[in-house]
């Protein structure tokens, strides 16, 4: 459901900026990176060229898809944090 998806994305730093019961709009500076990272795992999002910080995510269809999405978000967050540590003085 939409509220569950909102909470999941919020846990990983993505701001939900509305949507419907079937999809949610996300706003985050690293939208292109998240788009690529999830796409590599077969999780498709919509990325808007005219709004580079916005993605559209559909609701997962079943519990297995929810788990895949959560694992992919956790991996993306871990990788992002690792890169941040490497570039920090």
Domain positions in the chain = 2-81
DSSP-based three-state secondary structure for 27:
strand
Query: What integer pLDDT is reported at residue 34 of this predicted model?
Result: 95
What's the topology of domain 2-81?
Answer: 3.90.1150
Query: What integer pLDDT is reported at residue 80 of this predicted model?
Result: 78
- Tell me how far apart the alpha carbons of residues 89 and 84 are, in angstroms, rounded to a whole number: 10
pLDDT in tens, 15-68: 999 999 999 999 999 999 999 999 999 999 999 999 999 999 999 999 999 999
Query: What integer pLDDT is reported at residue 86 of this predicted model?
Result: 64
Question: Where residue 79 falls among pLDDT bands split at 50, 70, 90?
Answer: confident
Q: Give the start-end residues of each E strand in 1-89.
A: 15-19, 23-27, 46-48, 51-58
């Amino acid at each position: 459901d939409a509220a569950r998806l909102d909470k999941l994305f919020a846990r990983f730093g993505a701001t939900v900026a509305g949507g419907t019961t079937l999809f949610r709009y996300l706003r985050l500076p690293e939208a292109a990176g998240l788009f690529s990272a999830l796409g590599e795992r077969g999780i498709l999002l919509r990325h808007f060229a005219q709004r580079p910080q916005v993605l559209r995510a559909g609701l997962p269809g079943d519990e297995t898809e929810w788990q895949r999405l959560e694992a992919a978000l956790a991996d993306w967050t871990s990788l992002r944090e690792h890169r941040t540590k490497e570039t920090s003085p």
